[in-house]
Structure 1
Amino acid sequence: MTYKRLNNMTGMDPLLNRRISSIFLNEFEAFLKTLSELPNHENGDVFQFSLHKIRSSLVIFELDSVIKLYDKLSTRKREGEEISQDDSELLFALDETKKNIEKVGEFLANL
């Protein structure tokens, strides 16, 4: 797997790619924890702030499709909609997040 946006940004420098990927992987794993705790929060402020912090990295790693999932969950929570642990959209977002963490981890391991 190659990330065109990352390579365009770093000039395909393996050291920079490794450093940026490593930082992103840690951020993304922390974000996964926040996402999994979304049903426990009364409002979506914590989730929305975490999403704001990681959004540019998600774009760099070409994860535009999961950004849409996260935005949808954030909107639902902000509008006061109840999101349970077994919510189908939440479960799908968690699954996609885990898959993408694995992909970035594999990319990092191959650098």
Structure 2
Amino acid sequence: MNLSIDVNETDILLEITVNGEIDAYTAPKLRDTIFPLSEKNGVNMVINLSGVSYMDSTGLGVFVGVFKNVKANGGQFKINGLSGRLERLFEITGLADIIDVNSQIEGEVK
């Protein structure tokens, strides 16, 4: 399955919408697209996964790396739009306790 990544950047927010499946085949494309964006100082990044039907550990690895980079550069990072299956994946791995999957970042439109 293909993966599509849409990036919408404003002065205060970087919104990324991901659609498709995130696995060993598509994770490099995801990483190559969003990792450079995470290097901006003070970036407020929100990733919407409502269109993601499947994700494996390689996808989780991408998000952990991007999260660490955003935090190291003084930014905020949030993931929203998780299906029940993806939410459970974040909970089981303990990432839901580390990565913000709930609250709203300033400037984000619900």
Q: Could you say whether these structures have the same fold, taking a TM-score greater than 0.5 normalized by the shorter chain as the test?
A: no
Q: Which has the larger radius of gyration?
A: 1
Report which of the two has the higher share of helix.
1
TM-score normalised to structure 1 length? 0.33
Report which of the two has the higher share of strand.
2
